[in-house]
Amino acid sequence: MLLLHEISLKQGTTFIVFTEAELVEATDNLADKNILGHGGFGTVYRGLLKDGGVVAVKRFISSMASEQQKEFGKQMLILSQINHKNIVKLLGCCLEVEVPMLVYEFIPKNCREASCTCA
């Protein structure tokens, strides 16, 4: 709730709060065939949104304690405002699940630009 309140106060911030159903559908129920990679904090899946947009969905490994959730929210707010050619853009998140999911722009392998069409 803190995150949503802060986002509503920021003018020009484009940040989408996705539902669990939207991300489950986009990733074909978190199917193994859509796994892009694994990291220390979770698994990243390729997702296809209803509007045809391709995204990367990061699902964290474990749930967070209350204090971690507050810090997570603050970091998401900061990340959502960063716009730099060398940083993958955070588009939104899903907060209605026990294990948070972040939604990033999808950058095809070996591409340097989000607008690249080589995928």
Annotated binding site for ATP: 58
Q: What is the DSSP-derived secondary structure letter of residue 63?
A: -
Specify the DSSP element, H or E, that contains 80. helix 66-81
- Torsion sign (Cα): 12, 69, 27, 109: positive
